[in-house]
Amino acid sequence: MGRLFGTDGVRGLANGSLSPELALQVSAAAAQVLSRGKKRAVAVVGRDPRASGEMLEAAVTAGLTAAGVDVLSVGVLPTPAVAYLTGLYDACLGVMISASHNPMPDNGIKIFAAGGHKLDDAVEDRIEALIAEGSFHRPTGAAIGRVLGRPGLGGHVYDVYDSYSLEGTHERYVEHLVQATGRDLRGLTVVVDCAHGAASEVGPTAYREAGATVIAINAEPDGLNINDGCGSTHLEQVQAAVREHRADLGLAHDGDADRCLAVDATGAVVDGDAIMAVLAVAMRDSGELAANTLVATVMSNLGLHIAMRDAGITMRTTAVGDRYVLEDLRAGGYTLGGEQSGHVVFPKYGTTGDGVLTGLKLMARMAETGRSLAELASIVHTVPQVLLNVPVSDKAAVAVAPSVLAAVAEAERLLGDTGRILLRPSGTEQLVRVMVEATDQTQAHNLADNLAKLVAAV
């Protein structure tokens, strides 16, 4: 069996490579690994609105309860909400069923350990080994897990779980977000593209509770329309709506709302790098930026590095994936990190990227300074970047192909210190991502095209 976990959980075609049987095995194995030492363990389970989530939630619940773990099903909520509630309820693990920005036919299983933290490689390896062995502990009788919040459990051991109720979970998360905002947002008008996803309810609610005037679009999920031509991977609708409504800014989330991208009042895109720059300077000014350091991944543009250097802020870089950003944040005690794609992490308030919190913090900086988003984001001058997703049959073979290695070395020689090259296998698809940055746009395109052809030929 190849590695099951990608950069962000287990992902695949729902009812295809990601079958109910696999979902049951993954959840049962995770329960066995993460609930050791607990007499009565609890798992928080949430999902995004895609239709296959209903099927997979049933399978995940079956796997968890078969392993003797009680399940608190919180319904449709963003990934960061499930992580937050896992910590709030002192659960042994949390499970989010979502394929994030992927199209509707896909789905995924993201697992959080106690405290809402993403799993490290060693824990994922233990879960995969248990699945490969196929030997699970199966309690019987009263030791079988139950689904909490359902009627008919009175007089049972679950009296101790009176606080575990489906009522109020959404409200608790929204309250947590608004309290973290730190500033009244009255006077700001924002268009929010919810991608027909997990933030369709709590996103607009949180922005309104913080005081902003909210125009919500793509906030009517039907199970089939998630990410369909909208959200953080398709910004055209939010750009048009900002201009139409003369809003101060637009925000776009992905299907599970752990991402946030923005557009300014003119409709110009403000990507994750620019958002991180704005927030890093804000936290520097308030004394909240620990060690004056921002943590980002190797995908962040050179323009961000230059802007942070000019602002007196140190940048640390990690492998791609917010889990690696999180590991570095925790190891160094840093207070801000994220990705160009719009995952932004505030360890003080959460253990994973939180798109709605990012939007709130961005607007708080606008309210604090009285400056437009365009003005705030202007500190980043993006170096031309070309990113090509190249379908391949064997991602691992590309990394050692002599033709590719030689071409990369020659391209790096040509660029010198005026650009950079990055080839990275996708963590969730059979793709290799070819990224070239160069001060000359034409040169960047030519180098990227040549490398992509070589990668495709491997």
The end-to-end CA distance of the chain, in Å, is 23
Q: Is 83 helix (H, G, I), strand (E, B) or coil?
A: helix
Q: Is 357 helix (H, G, I), strand (E, B) or coil?
A: helix
Q: Is 100 annotated as a binding residue?
A: yes
From the candidates 100, 200, 232, 300, give the one annotated as an active-site residue.
100
Q: Is 258 annotated as a binding residue?
A: yes
Q: Is 273 annotated as a binding residue?
A: no
Structure tokens at 77: 């909520």
Q: Is 125 annotated as a binding residue?
A: no
Residue 353's nearest CA partner among 247, 217, 455, 258 is: 258
296 vs 328: CA distance, rounded Å:
9
279 vs 301: CA distance, rounded Å:
16
In single-letter form, the type of residue at position 355 comes to G
Is 52 a known active-site residue?
A: no
Angle at the Cα of 393 from the Cα atoms of 392 and 399, rounded to 5 degrees: 65
163 vs 184: CA distance, rounded Å:
30
Structure tokens at 334: 């840093």
Q: Write the DSSP assignment of 199-234 as a string of letters.
A: TTTHHHHHHHHTT-EEEEES----SS-TTSS-GGG-
Q: Is 149 helix (H, G, I), strand (E, B) or coil?
A: coil
Catalytic residues: 100
Q: Binding site for Mg(2+): which residues?
A: 100, 254, 256, 258
